Amino acid sequence: MKKKVIGISSDFFFIENKVSESFRRLFINEDYTKAIELAGGIPLVIPLSNDKELLKETLSLCDALLLTGGADIDPFLYNEERTKNLGNIKPERDFYEKELYSIAKEMKLPILGICRGMQLINVLEGGTLYQDLGYRECKENNIEHLQKDNKNYPCHYVSIEENSYLFEIFNSKKIAVNSYHHQAVKKLSSKFILTAQSSDGIVEGFENKEEKIMCVQWHPEKMLDDCKMLEIFKFFISRI
């Protein structure tokens, strides 16, 4: 059977060079490509571009789309002004992934959103975010959502809703996950069904089965030593 090609969104950063001007480089964390490869797919990293036709042609080579983690999302996308605890934003990446998401939906491709990818999908469908979890009023606000130690290990639990993709994958109502985010879903878009949350009420997963969209807030690609986390990627590819 021919392997499925999974398009993966990329990011960029600048390298300062003392001899000449700074260089801008595209990058992607290897964990994403490794996860797709181990799950039986072919990872195809999509270069960041504002050329809609180029992105459309690139996605025509893909069977599904994975939107990855990264910098904060511009609050203007959900009609809010920036607050002082907002981190670095990359409007160019916001535009690029907005176009990828729109094109993938038109092509009816399955979509997996991880961390920032999940947050962006929620925003693009009319949801909102906490620009920083410090702004959130919650009596139980002691859970570590931005862990400082090894990202390969879990730091808190999430509860999983039955009749969801995640329950089908893990066959459990509770799993341990890692966590590396300071923003989170505030208002969940009506397009989606909540599938997982932490004990302090943070949205940790949602889905739309009709459109084959599945999203998680944690980073399963960094927990591949846990074979169950690899099942997320296997399941994603199997649904194509």
Catalytic pick among 97, 207, 221, 231: 221
Cα–Cα distance between 12 and 92 in angstroms, integer? Answer: 10
Catalytic pick among 145, 156, 181, 219: 219
Catalytic pick among 115, 145, 155, 181: 115
What is the phi/psi pair of residue 98, to 5°?
-60, -45
Enumerate the β-bridge partners of residue 175: 158
**199, amino acid identity:** S
Q: Using an 8 Å Cβ cutoff, are 194 and 161 in contact?
A: yes
145 has catalytic annotation: no
Question: Kind of pairing, strands 64-67 and 42-46?
Answer: unpaired
219 has catalytic annotation: yes
Cα–Cα distance between 142 and 37 in angstroms, integer? Answer: 36
**Three-class DSSP labels, 70-99:** CCECCHHHHCCCCCCCCCCECHHHHHHHHH
Annotated catalytic sites, by residue? 115, 219, 221
